[in-house]
Amino acid sequence: MKTIIALIATILLIPLAQSADDKQTVLIVVTNYGQMPDGKTTGLWLAEATHPWQKFVKAGYQVHFASPKGGNSPIDPRSTKKPDAINDQFLNHKAYQNALKNTKVLKDLDPNNYAAIFFAGGHGTMWDFPNAAGASEIAGKIYSQGGIVSAVCHGPAALVNLKLPDGTLLIKGKKVTGFTNSEEEKVGLTKAVPFLLEDKLKSQGASYSSGEDFKLHTVVSDRLVTGQNPASAGPAAEAVIKLLKNSR
């Protein structure tokens, strides 16, 4: 079975192993935070990185991974409990696993090298994304020079303090979504997280909307793309791809 999975992964994701210097590059940012203050294990919600990665690669884009501190991005074990073919493909290839174990340091990157930035979610992001070094400098510059900024689920935690080069908040006056207060309550982590993402996005001047809990909901506002929850990860990436292709 593992051999079959590996073969399928090779067929679907083989572009990752190819050199394509002429391709545009998308930067996926993931968390370094693996344990909540109360001791609960957290980290990256794996599908919120792997599903967008596959979408971007199949559309012909290169993908790099970064995190606030660089190095390993811990995977929330809850995110691997349910069957997920794309996660299986990812986890059965050392090269793909290494992309999460050896992420680039966000603040050290040159925004001119990226056409889009995608902040993947997971509860860990609620602690290290809001004040991540380099987030405004990289994402703000990407946006100001015509690129795409995107985030899914708890990934929009990166947007709450994210500023453009002129000092204004990127999300002010823009339509956004993200993990809802209701969804947070249903997973039992309302008291564990440092703030409620829905409330924070609203308080900073964003026009927040949501769909049904745990169902697909994405929002596009100019060149800002956000997805509400894990079900929205792949579709949010597709929205980014559509914007990138239309900008050519």
3-state secondary structure of 169: strand
C-alpha 14/C-alpha 216 separation (Å) is 28
- The token pair at 38 is 């109360």
Selecting among 51, 93, 123, 154, the annotated active-site residue is 154
Q: What's the half-sphere exposure (Cβ side, CA atoms, 13 Å) at 94? A: 0
Which of 48, 123, 153, 217 is catalytic? The answer is 153
| Cβ contacts of 198 within 8 Å, gap of 6 or more | 178, 179, 180, 181, 184, 208, 210
208-226: b (≥16 Cβ within 10 Å) or e: bebbebbebbbbbeebbbb
Q: Are strands 62-67 and 175-176 parallel, antiparallel or unpaired?
A: unpaired
Q: Please answer whether residues 170 and 164 qualify as being in contact, where contact means their C-beta atoms are separated by less than 8 angstroms.
A: yes
- DSSP labels, 19-78: --TTS-EEEEE-----B-TTS-B--B-THHHHHHHHHHHHTT-EEEEEESS-B--PBPGG
Q: Clarify whether 198 is annotated catalytic.
A: no
Which residue among 48, 183, 184, 198 is the active-site one? 184
Q: Which of 95, 108, 114, 123 is nearest to 30 (CA)?
A: 123
Please state, in angstroms and as integers, the Cα–Cα distance from residue 192 to each residue in 7, 67, 80, 97, 104, following that order. 41, 22, 21, 28, 28
Reply yes or no on whether 184 is catalytic: yes
Active site residues: 153-154, 184
